[in-house]
A = this chain, B = another copy of it.
Amino acid sequence: MSTNTTETTTEDLLKLSVKIAISNWELQNTRLNGLLDKLTDEQLLVQTAPGRNSGVYLLGHLIAVSDGMFTFLELGERLYPHLDHIFIKNPDTSGIEKPTAAELKECWNKVNTLLKQKMDSMKPADWFVKHSAISAEDFEKEPHRNKLNILINRTNHQSYHMGQLTYLSNKA
C-alpha cells in the first residue's frame, strides 16, 4: 500500500506488538490446556490450597472472564454469560450448582477457539480502538485503555490463577 519505507517499518512494528500480545495469551492457554490434560475431573474439584478456591471454580472463573472478552473487544455475542453469576459475582462457597469439570473443559475450549478465530480477523489498528466499557470522553483522555490493554490485562489475570491451579498437580 505504502511506498514509504519508514512508515512501513512502523506499521510492521505495530503489527508485531499485537502479535506479541496475542502469542503471550496463547502461551497461557497452552499452559492451562496442558495442566487440564494432566488433571482428572476429581482433582479439579479439590481446593488449590486449604480454604482457597477449587480448580473447578477457578476454571469457571477463567472461562467467564475470557468469554467476557467477546464483549470488551466487540467480537460478537458471548457464549456463556450465565457463568458470571456462578464464577464472578459469587464465591466458590456460594452453594450455587456448578457445571461439571467435563462441561467446563468443553466451554473453555469453545471460548478459546472462537476468540482466537475472531482475534485473527482483527487488523492491528483494531486493537487500538477503545474497548466497550470505556466512554468516548474518557478514552480521549486515556487512549491506552484500548482493546490491546484488555488482552494484556486478561492474560495477566489468567497467569495469576494459573499459578494457583498448578497447585492441583502432583509435585515432581
A interface residues (Cβ-Cβ under 8 A, vs B): 4, 6-7, 10-11, 13-14, 16-21, 23-24, 27-28, 48-52, 124-125, 128, 143-144, 146, 148-149, 152-153, 155-157, 159-164, 167, 171
List residues of chain B with CB within 8 A of the CB of A50.
49-50
List residues of chain B with CB within 8 A of the CB of A14.
10, 13-14, 17
CA distance A153 to B167 in the complex (A): 21
- How many copies of this protein are present in the complex? 2
CA distance A44 to B127 in the complex (A): 39
25 contacts between A and B (CB under 8 A): A4-B7, A6-B7, A7-B7, A10-B10, A13-B125, A13-B128, A14-B14, A16-B143, A16-B146, A17-B128, A17-B148, A19-B144, A20-B144, A20-B146, A24-B149, A24-B153, A24-B156, A48-B49, A49-B52, A155-B156, A157-B159, A160-B160, A160-B162, A161-B163, A164-B167
Contact of A16 among B13, B21, B52, B144 (CB under 8 A): B144
CA distance A24 to B144 in the complex (A): 11
List residues of chain B with CB within 8 A of the CB of A28.
156
Least CB distance from A157 to B in Å reads 7
List residues of chain B with CB within 8 A of the CB of A155.
152, 156
Least CB distance from A155 to B in Å reads 6
CA distance A14 to B20 in the complex (A): 13
Closest to A151 in B: B20
CA distance A171 to B53 in the complex (A): 11
